[in-house]
Amino acid sequence: MAPSKDQVFAFRLKPGEDLKAGIEKVVAENKISAGWVATCVGSLTDYTIRFANQPEAGTGNGHFEIVSLTGTCSTNGSHLHISISDSTGATIGGHLMPGCKVYTTAEIVLQATDRFTFTRENDGSTPWKELQVKKND
């Protein structure tokens, strides 16, 4: 068995870039089949977040700090959650959707491994496509 290859991808998104699209671009360009968010800090001017148990995303604009970003990412589909806070510290969070526009910066570090492949499939446990983890030989 060959040694596994773990990788780190550090990058910055600039003002006006879409946070989710920027992450998906790095995932696609590097053919990441099993990755996760190690850290992210930055700010947004616009957000699009799908809140818990809601069919449609909520949107807003202003100035927001990214206080957390977490989740799994793969060329087979990603599942990312974000928390943001406004100028009073009020914080909201949920599923990261397209439409989160970077204000000043988004500094992101992704980690990935070739030990696994992440896919998203209906497995009958929920109505949604859920994470399936395949161990690679």
29 — phi, psi (to 5°)?
Answer: -60, -30
Beta bridge partners of 107: 12, 41
Dist. CA 83–CA 49, nearest whole Å: 9
Which pTM does this prediction carry? 0.94
Q: Examine residue 131 and state whether it is found in any structural domain, yes or no.
A: no
pLDDT along the chain (137 residues), means of 10: 84 98 98 98 98 95 98 98 98 98 98 97 93 95
Q: Examine residue 60 and state whether it is found in any structural domain, yes or no.
A: yes
pLDDT at site 81 = 98
Q: What is the total count of domains within the chain?
A: 1
Joined tokens for residue 55: 């069919």
Dist. CA 15–CA 101, nearest whole Å: 7
Dist. CA 113–CA 35, nearest whole Å: 7
Q: Which domain holds residue 78?
A: 6-123
Burial class (CB in 10 A: 0-12, 13-18, 19+), 53: exposed
Q: Examine residue 132 and state whether it is found in any structural domain, yes or no.
A: no
Could you write out the DSSP letters of every residue in 5-43? Answer: -EEEEEEEE-TT-BHHHHHHHHHHHTT-SSEEEEEEEEE
The CATH number assigned to the domain holding 53 equals 3.30.1330.80
